[in-house]
Structure 1
Amino acid sequence: MIVEKISIISNELKEWMQNTLNSGVAPELVVDAMIKKGFDPRFSYTTIFRMIRNHSVQTTDNCPYVYELPPIARKGSLIHTSDHVPIKVIMSIEKPFILLLDNLLSEQECDELIALSKDRLRRSKVIDSETGKEKTVPGRTSEGTEFMVLENRLIARIEKRIAELIDYPVEYSESLQVLHYNHGEEYKPHFDFFQENKVDASKGGQRIATLLIYLNDVEAGGETVFPKLGLSVSPKKGAAIYFHYGNSKGQTDRLSLHSSTPVVMGDKWVATKWIRQKKIYE
């Protein structure tokens, strides 16, 4: 799978670059930082030259998101993997690209994953937009844990199935996370991708897609909501949502804004896989 270099910047990154240049930092150091973040070298040099000469620079904010079909879009409405019954596509949206999938995990696999997670839960965190470090915030009130890639037979089987489903190697995905929401807990509207100046090319670069798997039925509440679309999805045990929000140009789709509504009755268990633009590890 060929990963193209990024060749467009956001207004936010443009402002950071301009401020950095104004502070006296050498242009070649700014270029080096861009290349390390996954930007095309020629584009990086050209952009710096244009900024130094006070010429206009096109950004993602004045350039519409370019939709590109991910590999899973070409697999039809019944997707086969090597170890499982066919996975059904029961809903699809083109812009942003969203698939609702049924029967990704069996009921037994869901129960086993929950049982493995219960004694490992800790308060869920988010990535701080300023420092790049994890922190807890009032808008995300769930508990969670993560499993090392191929940690045990169950995780290895699920990892392999996901890789076959979405057609991205395991090496492109973050470790599987399991989240638990008690009564009243939620995750307010957010994006899964990183701010452009916080993308770490040495750790797989930008997130480009999310696979969210429901591990139990919820009596009331706990819907996944895409507010810019007016779309709300109720949890269904073994089902999943796949949404793709990153393209080969380095753009991210802001229509992918989403939230998890408060649990009204019962509790909610989900498993999450985040996909990066390139390998996280070898």
Structure 2
Amino acid sequence: MSAYEKEVRTYEALCRGEDAIPIRADDRLVCNFFVPHPFFRYMPIKQEILFADPKLVMWYDVLTDEEVSEIQQLSKPRLRRATVKNPVTGVLEFADYRISKSSWLPTKLSPLTMRINERIEKMTGLSIRTAEDLQVVNYGLGGHYAPHFDFGRKREKDAFEIEYGNRIATLIYYMSEVQSGGLTVFTRIGAKVKPIKNSAAFWWNLHPSGEGDLRTRHAACPVLAGAKWVMNKWFHERDQEFRRPCELERGTVEPDDIF
């Protein structure tokens, strides 16, 4: 069985809710109140650490129903079929392995988008100056995104812009409950994230050394019933030098990988 076939089997099993990769008990997997900035002193974030290494966290009640409704209204007229970057040509194109509609919301589009971006900066401790605009994604029935990395690979054409660097981290807001399906799954570590309305998942795509973390390969499972709304925020390396300083690590050089 090829590595690709093994990953497909793991992906499908995780999407069914199975523990395809055993996860050991870890006392670092805790729930707590998180105060990343004085702004949250009197209303700390409810945090759950889903996976310790690589660190994958879930933050609960970081949006309101009213904010979600307004975001959806802002995005609906802008929704278009989602595209992916061809790793050989660098051209954006449609692909059967990503079925969804997406729209981009500029930071200064409305008071709400400005407020959310300010909150994101306080929650993550990362600069949004080099981050991408908010991307709203709607997955209808059967909508999915097969296993992929959020960061650019070295051998890919135009993987990332020198001015902004690679995608250092990902924040995903979940803006709806899904009747069936729609999990976010990590095919190399076996982690599963269930969409819970008004929550957000956060993880680092790169090691502190700047090398891509292959363990962050993830997928959006097919929606079997209902619809799934998410909002992505991708952060880039530049302007994060003093927020997440680079450091030397062993074993972080990106090996050859068929994916």
- Tell me which interval the TM-score lies in, with the shorter structure as reference length: 0.7 to 0.9
Residue 137 in structure 1 maps to residue 95 in structure 2? yes
Deviation at 1:279, TM superposition (A): 4.3
Residue 110 in structure 1 maps to residue 71 in structure 2? no
Residue 77 in structure 1 maps to residue 33 in structure 2? yes
Alignment-derived partner of residue 201 in structure 2? 241
Amino acid at match of 1:206: N
State how many pairs are aligned: 205
CA gap of 1:257–1:190, structure 2 versus 1, over 3 A, is: same
Alignment-derived partner of residue 22 in structure 1? none
Of the three residues 153, 170, 178, the one matched with 1:218 is: 178
Where do residues 178-257 of structure 1 align in structure 2 (5 Å cutoff)? 178-197=136-155, 198-257=158-217
CA gap of 1:251–1:80, structure 2 versus 1, over 3 A, is: closer
Amino acid at match of 1:107: D
Contact 2:36 2:124 in 1 (8 A): no
Amino acid at match of 1:176: L
RMSD of aligned residue pairs (Cα, Å): 1.9
CA distance in 2, matches of 1:163, 1:102: 16
Where do residues 19-34 of structure 1 align in structure 2 (5 Å cutoff)? none
TM-score by length of 2: 0.74
Alignment-derived partner of residue 25 in structure 2? none
Of the three residues 48, 51, 74, the one matched with 1:90 is: 48
CA gap of 1:247–1:227, structure 2 versus 1, over 3 A, is: closer
Amino acid at match of 1:136: F
Deviation at 1:247, TM superposition (A): 2.9
CA distance in 2, matches of 1:129, 1:149: 28
Deviations for 1:78-133, whole angstroms, at most 9, x for unmatched residues? 23653894321122422112111111111111111111111110000111111222
SS of residue matched to 2:185 = strand
SS of residue matched to 1:162 = helix
Contact 1:199 1:205 in 2 (8 A): no
Of the three residues 212, 226, 229, the one matched with 1:269 is: 229
CA distance in 2, matches of 1:85, 1:128: 43
- Which of the two has higher C-alpha Rg? 1
SS of residue matched to 2:210 = coil
CA gap of 1:115–1:121, structure 2 versus 1, over 3 A, is: same
CA distance in 1, matches of 2:45, 2:118: 14
Structure 1: 5+ residue runs without aligned partners? 1-75
Contact 2:82 2:98 in 1 (8 A): yes
Deviation at 1:228, TM superposition (A): 1.5
Alignment-derived partner of residue 152 in structure 1? 110
CA distance in 2, matches of 1:183, 1:129: 27
Deviations for 1:49-69, whole angstroms, at most 9, x for unmatched residues? xxxxxxxxxxxxxxxxxxxxx
Alignment-derived partner of residue 99 in structure 1? 57
CA gap of 1:87–1:268, structure 2 versus 1, over 3 A, is: same
SS of residue matched to 1:211 = strand
Structure 2: 5+ residue runs without aligned partners? 1-31, 241-259
More deviation, 171-180/126-135: 126-135
Contact 2:205 2:212 in 1 (8 A): yes
CA distance in 1, matches of 2:152, 2:33: 31
Amino acid at match of 2:58: L
Alignment-derived partner of residue 10 in structure 2? none
Deviations for 1:213-239, whole angstroms, at most 9, x for unmatched residues? 001111111110112222211111110
Amino acid at match of 1:212: I
SS of residue matched to 2:35 = strand
